[in-house]
Structure 1
């Protein structure tokens, strides 16, 4: 049976490189992105290097919970159930930038979207084996920026930094710590299943488009050093390795950098903190805090 992989944020940068590598390995790949036009361009670029790639596209704006819910439903009704899901979509948005649903955009895209998507898919996978890979950020850097569990959406802007230009990046950093906390919490709740969940820092990579929504000095801060960083193919290496390698079969709840397991900060693995974030996130996305139910696979 053909392996099916889902890659979010697959229209450029690391996500497109991940999708290309998975397709080159003979897997059917579902590319997820916000724009039909960008999805089509990414699909054509991948076919240009992997002519026999089995590619499918799904348009969804992952800053919108309604789109995430609809996407998760389509992924289990209109495609073979995935055995690989790479959550790669991320953004650095102005702290005051809120979606049409009233949620701070960085929080919605970087944390609530993978929380809702992966929980929903886990609920549908039953006893099937799958690997969930969450693309995060540097544990070394994030150690100094714990999540404020009383201010998930960074409403207290002055509490982020006295320097306004830095605030979007600190808000982003908090959401990346949320990713590590989510990996830890979801893995605990999926113990005894055949689904593994791991986080990965792909490195500091150029061409990611993370700061595309920023303007002025904040835009300059986000792009000044980009030309000196390695490209998306380098960033795709460890996420793809986590998704397919027999070396990490059965490994779950861990975080990796350059194919090496690394520790994340104690504030990202503390069970009480992780449970509190889990419960608050469940409330924000409209799910029960209970772990995914184990539904037998009847396919």
Structure 2
């Protein structure tokens, strides 16, 4: 039975993606940071897809030590056919983890960087599809990553959201860099914007202005089913078999801002990230 790994699988878009992959006949490894929420998500998916094989992996993706442990457990198993990197947060810009790193940066960028690199290096050339859930390429064009300060959120009341937005640009940059490295291996890497989706819980720990902004958009936003559509399609559709290094919105390949596609910038981000997570950098 094909196997998928989905991070952020205990609610919202991630849970729906996991449900769709289970319905497609896959074993789906649900990754989340809370055992109770994992059990409840598994129960809801099993109710939709009776008999689904839904192993769980508990890991707090804001802690690199737990990401390393998760990667070690997963790479000790047969390699996956699909990996969907979906977990994300909007945390206060001044919130640091016990490891001393900004929590939004770790959860949204450094964790997928460490996890997907580790999985790819252990894949042993078995074909797989990696899908990285990112953000709106049009909106993100205005917030390039500050490569001199990866946790930069700028000033003003929305700086929590700006930090989040920059990590979503990092997702695209990392995806392009990883796809270049994996060409010819059978592993494809593509990004996807799920849309502006209500009910994700992304900003529940952010500043009040960010929460108010989210509440204002919520009545006009689509639900998790719509958000899961493009990532789940990328993970399963014959139409994109062998396609790599692209970014999709509503199942259509789109361009992203030049500051996300510039190879020198992507390589610098790769190396800065490698230093932060303790992996080899240049040409790694």
Q: What TM-score do you get using the length of structure 2 for normalisation?
A: 0.97
Deviations 1:144-201 (A, max 9, x none): 11001001011xx5xx13x2x2101111110000001001111111122110000000
CA displacement at 1:226 relative to structure 2: 1.4
Residue 85 of structure 2 corresponds to 87
Match of 1:225 among 217, 231, 239: 217
Residue 229 of structure 2 corresponds to 237
CA displacement at 1:217 relative to structure 2: 3.1
Equivalent positions of 1:1-299 (< 5 A) are 2-77=1-76, 79-154=77-152, 160-161=154-155, 163=156, 165-290=157-282
CA distance in structure 2 between the partners assigned to 1:22 and 1:291 by the alignment? 34
Do the aligned partners of 1:202 and 1:257 also contact (CA within 8 Å) in 2? yes
CA displacement at 1:291 relative to structure 2: 5.3
CA distance in structure 1 between the partners assigned to 2:4 and 2:15 by the alignment? 13
CA distance in structure 1 between the partners assigned to 2:282 and 2:82 by the alignment? 23
CA displacement at 1:215 relative to structure 2: 4.2
CA distance in structure 2 between the partners assigned to 1:41 and 1:81 by the alignment? 26
Structure 1 segments unaligned to the other structure (5+ residues): 293-299
CA distance in structure 2 between the partners assigned to 1:200 and 1:212 by the alignment? 23
CA distance in structure 1 between the partners assigned to 2:221 and 2:210 by the alignment? 19
Do the aligned partners of 2:160 and 2:207 also contact (CA within 8 Å) in 1? no
Deviations 1:241-263 (A, max 9, x none): 10011110111110000000000
Q: Secondary structure at the match of 1:125?
A: coil
Runs of 4+ in 1 over 4 A off after TM superposition: none
Do the aligned partners of 1:211 and 1:223 also contact (CA within 8 Å) in 2? no
Q: Secondary structure at the match of 2:56?
A: strand
CA displacement at 1:290 relative to structure 2: 4.9
Aligned-pair Cα RMSD in Å: 1.1
Query: How many residues are matched?
Result: 284
Q: Secondary structure at the match of 1:86?
A: strand
CA distance in structure 2 between the partners assigned to 1:280 and 1:69 by the alignment? 18
Q: Secondary structure at the match of 2:184?
A: coil
CA distance in structure 2 between the partners assigned to 1:85 and 1:290 by the alignment? 24
Structure 2 segments unaligned to the other structure (5+ residues): none
CA displacement at 1:137 relative to structure 2: 0.3
Q: Secondary structure at the match of 2:57?
A: strand
CA distance in structure 2 between the partners assigned to 1:18 and 1:97 by the alignment? 29
